Amino acid sequence: MKLKKQVTVCGGAIFCVAVFSLYLMLDKVQHDPASRQNGGGNFPRSQISVLQNRIEQLEQLLEENHQIISHIKDSVLELTDTGAVPPSGQLPFRSANGSWVLPFDGHPTFLSVKPQDCQFAQGRRGHTDLQMLDIYSLLKFDNVDGGVWKQGFEITYEPGAWDNEPLQVFVVPHSHNDPGWIKTFDKYYTDQTQHIFNNMLVKLTEDPRRKFIWSEISFFAKWWESADMHKQEAMRKLILGGQLEMVTGGWVMTDEANVHYFAMIDQLIEGHQWLEKNVGVTPQSGWAVDPFGHSATMAYLLKRANLTSMLIQRVHYSIKKHFASSRSLEFMWRQSWDQESGTDIFCHMMPFYSYDVPHTCGPDPKICCQFDFKRLPGGRVNCPWKVPPRAVVEANVAERAHLLLDQYRKKSKLFRSKVVLIPLGDDFRYDKALEWDQQYLNYQRLFDYMNSHSEMHVQAQFGTLTDYFTAVYKANGVPQGVRPPEYPVLSGDFFAYADREDHYWSGYYTSRPFYKSMDRVLHPADGRQAHRQGERGHRLRQQVSC
């Protein structure tokens, strides 16, 4: 440390001597008439002025540097002597001569860990069948090519596997709407989201067998405010009648990695209160297809908010493959500190790459894409696998139904019940009336054919997320939210997320630090705004607070 200080002092002294010598030399040249006459050609007046200005700037910078070093030195000495910490939130300020001064931030860059905290973390570890810390250390993350299911493996089955217990298929139409991504919230609403709600109101009413789910209450509330009483009542009827389900019920589909738990609670309260006040419903099932990884904190909050089941999607592909191979994609998610089962919530993990249609009907996206009828020839989107969908008609319905059922059966082999969930949607889908007709009419023809041919041993229909979970509980003979026999118990989280190869979605952990810091400062973390949330919000905050 002393050597470093000596080197710094010597270097500064040499620099100052060099600058001072240059200054004296130029000053002598400027004031010596003989030098100006004899050396006028070598030192024009313009060059001397430029050099003099640069030296003045250098002197000013040296002075500013001296002020900053003096300020830091004084702050360090003050902290050393008194242990005092200067007020937080100070910003850089200009000194009297206009230079910037950076105030010293006395906040520690780390927190000490108490031994009793470590003992609690180790000693309170509850018994579970699947502990994520162990699984992460077990896997190779080698990304072996699995064939048509690139990140998985070949799935086979016996044709008679469903002879005694038919396969139950729930196709769940959905549309994921980001409240701000490429466009702003208002731009998305104006261009697309409002049309989804308007079409929903008309198209779901046309056939009571049609179902849909929605999660982002911020968008739904904006539509509700502009709708007249007749539209509001019609939408309320669809919800109360079970054709439209509000899943999770949060104001947004919250991030689960960077966000503070209070913000997760706050947005959940905001959405739940809005639904209770305006529609009179309470969400039952959680739907999280687009957070970049999934936290045990969210599972805990949903459990405390009285949801009985939840779904997650963005999990590392190696974890999905590992769970699929042991049919552990559905489990009871338990907090790591829970010794019993008081925090358990039933969780469904989607097995494939994405939540879009090509990656939800089964393991082969080339086939599944043929049943995304928005991609019919003549539209703006097509199938990257170069095999387009075909409209379902009398002449091809048998072939189309058997091809699709094969995918349903293969997907069901990854789970422990003969009930299979098939999401049908993507980002900002169903904003055109044409897509509602394309998807619902073609799928209904397929369902009608499957259900009328008993030799196929399948019962297929549109459904909501809770329709699916209810069928799983019923198939296992347990009440809603109770652990089915032989289903595993898991503790831990699902970070960091990679969707393929080494594409890890972790850069956003540290991006835009200013905005993340500002969010922490501005968001109330002490419950002082509970009065505006209402009594139910206050109760929920009391339930989920540590």
What's the CATH code of the domain at 272? 3.20.110.10
Q: How many domains would you assign to the chain?
A: 2
Active-site residues: which are they? 290
The mean-pLDDT minimum among 48-57, 382-391, 512-521, 534-543 falls in: 534-543
Is the residue at 242 inside a domain? yes
Say whether both 418 and 534 belong to one domain: no
Report the percent of the chain where pLDDT is more than 70: 77
Q: Tell me, yes or no, whether 472 and 500 share the same domain.
A: yes
Cβ pair 468, 419 in contact under 8 A: yes
Same domain, 325 and 414: yes
Does 275 reside within a domain? yes
Q: Which two tokens stand for residue 226?
A: 């502009």
Q: What is the pLDDT of residue 15?
A: 63
Nearest to 89, CA basis, from 535, 521, 528, 446:
521
Model-wide pTM > 0.75? yes
Residues 517 and 503 in one domain: no
Q: Are residues 448 and 528 in the same domain?
A: no
Are both 409 and 526 inside the same structural domain? no
**Cis omega before residue 496 (within 30°)?**
yes
Instruction: Write the DSSP assignment of 72-136 as a string of letters.
Output: HHHHHHHHHHH---PPTT---EE-TTS-EE-------SS----HHHHHHHHHT----SEEHHHHH
Sign of CA dihedral 372, 376, 381, 387: positive
Query: Is 146 contained in some domain?
Result: no
Task: Say yes or no: 426 and 522 in one domain.
Answer: no
Q: Which domain holds residue 521?
A: 513-539
Rounded Cα–Cα distance for residues 388 and 384 (Å): 9
Cα 389 to chain center, whole Å? 31
On whether residue 486 sits in a domain, the answer given is yes
The CA radius of gyration of the chain, in Å to the nearest whole number, is 32
Write out the two tokens for 405: 């059922």
- Strand 489-491 to 130-131 pairing: parallel
Q: What is the mean pLDDT of the chain?
A: 86
- The HSE-up count of residue 19 (CA atoms within 13 Å, CB side) is 16
Strands 93-94 and 130-131, by their bridges, are: unpaired
Specify whether 418 is located in the same domain as 526: no
Q: Indicate if 275 and 417 belong to the same structural domain.
A: yes
Considering the domain architecture, whether residues 450 and 390 belong to the same structural domain is answered as yes
- CA–chain centroid gap for 175, Å, is 16
First-to-final CA distance of the chain: 45
In a domain, 89, yes or no: no
Residue 134 has a CB neighbour count (10 Å cut-off) of 10
Banded pLDDT at 55 (limits 50, 70, 90): confident
Instruction: Indicate if the pLDDT at residue 529 is higher than 50.
Output: no
Q: Please write the tens of the pLDDT for every residue from 108-153.
A: 545 566 777 666 656 656 689 999 999 999 999 999 999 999 999 9
pLDDT digits (tens, 9 = 90+) for 311-321: 999 999 999 99
**pLDDT(435) > 90:** yes
Same domain, 502 and 522: no
Amino acid at 45: R
Name the burial class of residue 425, with classes exposed (0-12), middle (13-18) and buried (19+) by CB atoms within 10 angstroms of its CB.
buried
pLDDT tens-place string over residues 240-258: 999 999 999 999 999 999 9
Lowest mean pLDDT among 57-71, 191-205, 263-277: 57-71
CB contact at 8 A, 101 and 73: no
Q: Which amino acid is at 471?
A: A
Region 375-392: what's the mean pLDDT? Answer: 96
User: Is residue 310 included in any domain, yes or no?
Assistant: yes
213 and 332: one domain?
A: yes
More confident residue, 296 or 106: 296
Beta bridge partners of 426: 175
- How many distinct helices (H) and strands (E) make up the chain? 18, 13
161 part of a folded domain: no
For residue 102, pLDDT over 60 is answered with no
The answer on pLDDT for 88 being more than 50 is no
**What average pLDDT does this structure show over 346-362?**
98
In a domain? residue 134: no
The mean-pLDDT minimum among 21-30, 52-61, 231-240, 260-269 falls in 21-30
pLDDT of 40 > 60? The answer is no
499 compared with 113, residue with greater pLDDT: 499
pLDDT at 295 over 70: yes
Summarize the confidence of residues 144-165 as an average pLDDT: 96
